[in-house]
A and B are shown apart, each in its own frame.
Chain A
Amino acid sequence: MKHDALIQTVIMTQSEWPLWEVFIRSKQGLDHKHVGSLHAADAQMAIQNARDVYTRRQEGISIWVVESKHVHASNPDDAEAFFDPANDKVYRHPTFYQVPDSIKHM
């Protein structure tokens, strides 16, 4: 009864439903954007609950859910050093360059 044992362990080790992060595409052509989280027993239920919790007023046309434990994040304590490489590269921005007034369309 390997099958049943597997089910039992899942139930026993989890008193509350897992947490899911919810992403919603508000209209065609836009990115899915993080809107919040919710608890659900599985992905299918998470999508249904996300519809009821986060799109009661037509806020979305598409939903993604990701179980929160699968999200990996950069460490805020290291943010300064981590994002440092971009700090001294002003030449990556168009405003770094001087364009003569007589030049149009640039």
Chain B
Amino acid sequence: METLEMTQEEQFQARIDADVRIEPKDWMPDAYRKTLIRQISQHAHSELVGMLPEGNWITRAPSLKRKSILLSKVQDEAGHGLYLYSAAETLGTTRDQMLADLHSGKAKYSSIFNYPTLSWADMGCVGWLVDGAAILNQVPLCRTSYGPYARAMVRVCKEESFHQRQGFEIMQTLCEGAPEQKAMAQEALNRWWWPTLMMFGPKDEDSPNTAQSMNWRIKRFTNDELRQKFVDMMVPQAEFLGLTVPDTQVKWNEARQAYDFGEVNWDEFWAVVKGNGMCNRDRLGARVKAHEEGAWVREAAMAHAAKRAARQVVAA
């Protein structure tokens, strides 16, 4: 009867250690709940804001096929945001609260979306690199300890590989095209490479919450582990395309069986996180504007639903 002597918190940790999923109505430590709400809502915000840089190119896609694909991808990202907001709501927060935190700047979203999309090749880089990095982050989250989050991530992951492939295909088409097109692809890679490496977050030694998150099995790999995996995956793909990653220190390390690579510019990383990236104000401004301009639609839909319900009451 050892379990009787365990505190609630110890029992909780024992379940986590046994890989038992935690469900919404189960007891959980406050800090676990708070950490999850923060992480899941940040993730949801990233999906939502992530639509903006790509939405920028929908009207200028080079063909109807590319336009349809991009439109579908952006629609998927909206869906990802919705899966994740729902998962966060099972922890007791509300959609209104989460959106208010996003719009006030209190909540964060992935810094990658604070970089501008300047050419069509950026649509290639976003799919290939940014969605590629997202996949590396997300696949382990399919086994994260909180059930609704894990299930949302399974759904998301099923849809992400199309995102990455369409991006790679854009890059490949450009690289096999005219010299100007290939130059455009290289120029986009030069701009996106480092910000993508930043997507994995600060270095492990500067990430004080990692240990607790790993202990709770919310996180399954550290930031540096994922960053290394990403470099190992992407360098050969860039070589295949005939492109060069903009890092002179990239070199295969036979002993480590991994690529060595240079140091991320952490000053830039923190500046963007703190709101001083190239597009922070634009992105948030666009979100707030969309929300405010949608207010009448939300109210009208409620009024319409209430009217219909009232008509049923009267008829009954």
- Choose the segment among B32-40, B104-112, B302-310 that binds chain A (4+ C-beta atoms closer than 8 Å): B302-310
A56 with B94, Cβ < 8 A, contacts A6-B313, A36-B86, A41-B302 known: no
Stretch at the interface among B75-83, B195-203, B247-255, B275-283: B75-83
B23 interface residue (CB < 8 Å to A): yes
Is B178 close to A, CB under 8 A?
no
Contact A7 B310, beta carbon cutoff 8 Å: yes
- Is residue B96 within 8 Å, beta carbon to beta carbon, of the partner chain? yes
CA–CA, A41 to B305, complex, Å? Answer: 6
- Chain B: which residue is nearest A6 at the CB level? B310
Cβ–Cβ < 8 Å partners of A38 in chain B: 82, 86
- Find chain A residues with CB under 8 A from B310 CB: 3, 6-7
User: Interface residues of B: mostly helix, strand, loop or mixed?
Assistant: helix
A16→B86 contact, CB < 8 A = no
**Interface membership of B123, Cβ < 8 A:** no
**B79 and A53 form a contact (CB under 8 A):** yes
Given contacts A10-B302, A41-B302, contact A56 B308 (CB under 8 A): no
- Chain B residues contacting A16 (CB-CB under 8 Å) are 94-96
Q: Given A42-B309, A56-B76, is A76 in contact with B96 using a C-beta cutoff of 8 Å?
A: no
Chain A nearest CB from B106 CB (Å) reads 18
Contact of B306 among A11, A37, A75, A77 (CB under 8 A): A11
Q: Which of B26, B305, B308 contacts A76 (CB 8 A)?
A: B26
A73 part of interface (Cβ distance < 8 Å): yes
B299 at the interface (CB under 8 A from A): yes
Max chain B Cβ within 10 angstroms of own Cβ: one of A10, A45, A77: A10
Q: Inside 8 A of A11's CB, which chain B residues have their CB?
A: 299, 302-303, 306
CB nearest neighbor in B for A36 = B86
- Encoded as 1 (CB less than 8 Å from any B CB) or 0, chain A from 1 to 26 comes to 00100110011001111010000000
- Bound: A53/B87 CA distance, A: 14
| A45 and B96 contacting across the interface, CB-CB below 8 Å | no
Whether B302 lies near A17 (C-beta < 8 A) is yes
Docked Cα-Cα span, A11 to B298, in Å, equals 10
For B86-101 the 0/1 string (1 means CB < 8 A from A) is: 1101000011100000
CB of A32 within 8 Å of the partner chain: no
Q: Which residues of A contact B313 (CB under 8 A)?
A: 6
Interfacial chain A residues near B307, Cβ < 8 Å: 7
| Bound CA–CA A82/B77 (angstroms) | 41
Cβ A7 vs Cβ B306 within 8 A: yes
Tell me the smallest distance from the CB of B53 to a CB of chain A, in Å: 21
B95, B306, B307, B313: residue with the most chain A Cβ atoms closer than 10 Å: B306
A6: chain B residues at CB < 8 Å are 306, 309-310, 313
**Given A36-B87, A36-B152, 10 new contacts (CB under 8 A):** A6-B313, A7-B303, A10-B302, A10-B305, A17-B302, A35-B155, A42-B304, A42-B308, A52-B75, A56-B159
**B residues touching A (Cβ–Cβ < 8 Å)?**
23, 25-27, 72, 75-76, 79, 82-83, 86-87, 89, 94-96, 151-152, 155, 159, 298-299, 301-310, 313-314
